[in-house]
């Protein structure tokens, strides 16, 4: 049997590109699916037989019976929330025991991280998901974080660990934490016990799979422009969302990966604050966003916030393809553009070749657009390239020529099989 490719799937813009649908599609060829960064700030949604699943911390691969799923060391994990997510999956008949594993090296997101974040957001106003991600990763970087391997099942011992951590956090004084420690410790221990043997380091196992049968699928969360290093700092998340974060967050030899698949939506969106050069006028935004009545409309899967919508940004596409070393592009939600005419793509910024480092500079760039005639025909559910109108194919080939990468997967609707795969 030939070896399966080891792949990384990453978002090329500000998250919500439709990565979960692509990961779900590629899981058929995978042995193990791993989330390598982020945590419950993600909302990966897949529609299976008309039912929409939204996964926050559990890898999308869980929707395929028998596939192994891992929450890697690079994640910041909210254990009680993870248990809720797993119980909800159980209610839908999805068995996870024996095939889902959590790295003991992953850092914990404590309830207090969420409190701290609410408090900080009043000042900095990043527009975060308020899932405690930033404060948890900040503790990790300050080397005062608590990891899953630090959890003690004895409440007194755990109380002491959390208390010591609290002492190290100056901000803590401000948020009256005392009352909540016991309750939080109990929830944490319960979640830890519920997971039991599922807390187990799998990096050696994944390394072995990658070398032998292949079929390692790394599922990125958020997107390149939310990367702590390469995104629109400070309007970013607190982890490395690019392909570079995968080997690090899983703990395997980075040379084992064969392919990087960059996911781009056919138009751009972002939630939260920060620069968005191609943000459209309100009327166009409303068309792109949808009303909210469908699960696939542009409202946050984690927070329900309406997403900001805009035209496809070719400058960011090129940048993100370079940063991630993208081999193939997956272009999602092409069907949403069906009734828009003309369709615009920003092919360059005036007087600015690349994405500037400074967010205020990016805020002030002037995109230069090319207009494309729309196709004025529903393409929802198309399964072959022949079903796409010429103007849709032209749109795709422009994206290919801007990025210098082939579009290999095209999302044409909300269902898991609404996808065209160009081999
Ligand atoms: P945080 O990750 O909750 O700290 O939020 C930081 C920024 O990333 C905010 O602009 C969030 O809206 C954005 N963000 C975080 N996770 C996601 C996601 O899964 N999709 C889209 N945006 C996200």
Among 13, 41, 224, the mutation site with the greatest number of ligand 1 atoms within 8 A of its Cβ is 41
Smallest CA-to-CA distance from 268 within 309, 301, 213 is with: 309
CA of 214 to the centre of ligand 1 (A): 31
237 lines ligand 1 (CB under 6 A): yes
Smallest CA-to-CA distance from 33 within 113, 99, 115, 105 is with: 99
Say how far apart CA 270 and CA 232 lie, in whole Å.
11
20 lines ligand 1 (CB under 6 A): no
Q: Whose CA is nearest to atom 8 of ligand 1?
A: 237
CB contact at 8 A, 105 and 73: yes
The pLDDT, as a whole number, for residue 166 is 85
Token representation of residue 329:
């592009």
Q: What are phi and psi of 22, to 5 degrees?
A: -70, -40
220 lines ligand 1 (CB under 6 A): no
CA of 274 to the centre of ligand 1 (A): 11
301 lines ligand 1 (CB under 6 A): no
131 lines ligand 1 (CB under 6 A): yes
The pLDDT, as a whole number, for residue 209 is 98
Provide the annotated active-site residues.
Answer: 16, 44
pTM for the full predicted model: 0.96
CA of 85 to the centre of ligand 1 (A): 19
Say how far apart CA 382 and CA 411 lie, in whole Å.
9
CA of 33 to the centre of ligand 1 (A): 22
3-state secondary structure the chain: CCCECCEEEEECCCCCCCHHHHHHHHHHHCCEEEECCECCCCCEEEEECCEEEEECCCCHHHHCCCCEEEECCCEEECHHHHHHHHHHHHHCCCCCCCCEEECCCCEECCHHHHHHHHHHHHHHCCCCCCCCHHHHHHHHHHCCCCEHHHCCCCHHHHHHHHHHHHHHCHHHHHHCCHHHHHHHHHHHHHHHHHHHHHECCCHHHHHHHHHCCECEEEECCCCHHHCCCCCCCCCCCCCCCCCHHHHHHHCCCHHHCCEEEEEEECCEEECCCCCCCCECCHHHHHHHHCCCCCCCCCECCCCCCECEEECEEHHHHHHHHHHHCCCEEEEECHHHHCCCCCEEEEEEECCECCCCCCHHHHHHCCEEEEEECCCCCCCCCCCCHHHCCHHHHHHHHHHHHHHCCEEEEEECCCECCCEEECC
The pLDDT, as a whole number, for residue 176 is 55
The pLDDT, as a whole number, for residue 71 is 98
222 lines ligand 1 (CB under 6 A): yes
Splitting the chain (423 residues) into consecutive groups of 10 residues, what average pLDDT does each group show? 95 97 97 98 94 96 97 98 98 97 98 91 93 97 97 94 85 58 92 98 98 98 98 98 98 98 98 96 94 91 91 98 98 95 96 95 97 94 96 97 98 95 91
226 lines ligand 1 (CB under 6 A): yes
Q: Whose CA is nearest to atom 10 of ligand 1?
A: 272
Q: Whose CA is nearest to atom 9 of ligand 1?
A: 128
Q: Whose CA is nearest to atom 16 of ligand 1?
A: 41
Q: Whose CA is nearest to atom 5 of ligand 1?
A: 128
285 lines ligand 1 (CB under 6 A): no
132: left (phi over 0), alpha (psi -120 to 50) or beta: left
């Amino acid at each position: 049997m030939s070896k399966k490719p080891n792949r990384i799937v990453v978002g090329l813009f500000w998250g919500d590109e439709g990565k979960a649908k692509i990961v779900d599609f590629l899981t058929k060829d995978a042995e193990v699916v791993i989330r390598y960064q982020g945590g419950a700030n993600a909302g990966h949604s897949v529609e299976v037989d008309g039912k929409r699943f939204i996964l926050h911390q559990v890898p999308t691969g869980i929707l395929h019976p028998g596939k192994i799923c891992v929450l890697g060391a690079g994640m910041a994990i909210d254990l009680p929330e993870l248990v809720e997510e797993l119980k909800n999956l159980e209610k839908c008949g999805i068995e996870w025991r024996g095939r889902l594993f959590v790295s003991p090296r992953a850092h914990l997101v404590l309830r207090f991280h969420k409190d701290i974040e609410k408090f900080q957001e009043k000042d900095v106003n990043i527009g975060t998901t308020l899932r405690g991600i930033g404060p948890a990763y900040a503790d990790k970087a300050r080397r005062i974080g608590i990891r899953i391997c630090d959890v003690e099942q004895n409440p007194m011992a755990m109380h002491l660990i959390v208390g010591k951590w609290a002492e190290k956090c100056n901000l803590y004084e401000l948020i009256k934490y005392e009352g909540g420690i016991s309750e939080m410790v109990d929830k944490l221990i319960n979640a830890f016990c519920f997971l039991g043997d599922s807390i187990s380091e799998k990096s050696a196992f994944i390394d072995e799979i990658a070398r032998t049968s292949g079929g390692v699928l790394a599922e990125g969360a958020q997107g390149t422009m939310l990367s702590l290093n390469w995104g629109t700092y400070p309007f970013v998340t607190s982890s490395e969302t690019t392909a570079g974060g995968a080997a690090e967050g899983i703990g395997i030899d980075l040379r084992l990966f064969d392919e990087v698949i960059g996911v781009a939506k056919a138009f751009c969106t972002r939630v939260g604050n920060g620069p968005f050069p191609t943000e459209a006028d309100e009327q166009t935004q409303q068309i792109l966003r949808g009303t909210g009545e469908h699960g696939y409309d542009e409202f946050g899967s984690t927070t329900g916030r309406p997403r900001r919508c805009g035209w496809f940004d070719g400058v960011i596409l090129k940048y993100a393809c370079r940063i991630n070393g993208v081999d193939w592009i997956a272009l999602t939600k092409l069907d949403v553009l069906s009734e828009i005419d003309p369709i615009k793509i920003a092919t360059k910024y005036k007087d600015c070749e690349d994405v500037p480092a400074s967010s205020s500079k990016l805020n002030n760039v002037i995109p230069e657009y090319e207009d494309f005639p729309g196709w004025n025909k529903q393409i929802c559910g198309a399964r072959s390239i022949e079903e796409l109108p010429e103007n849709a194919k032209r749109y795709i080939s422009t994206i290919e020529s801007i990025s210098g990468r082939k579009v290999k997967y095209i999302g044409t609707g909300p269902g898991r099989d609404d996808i065209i795969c160009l081999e």
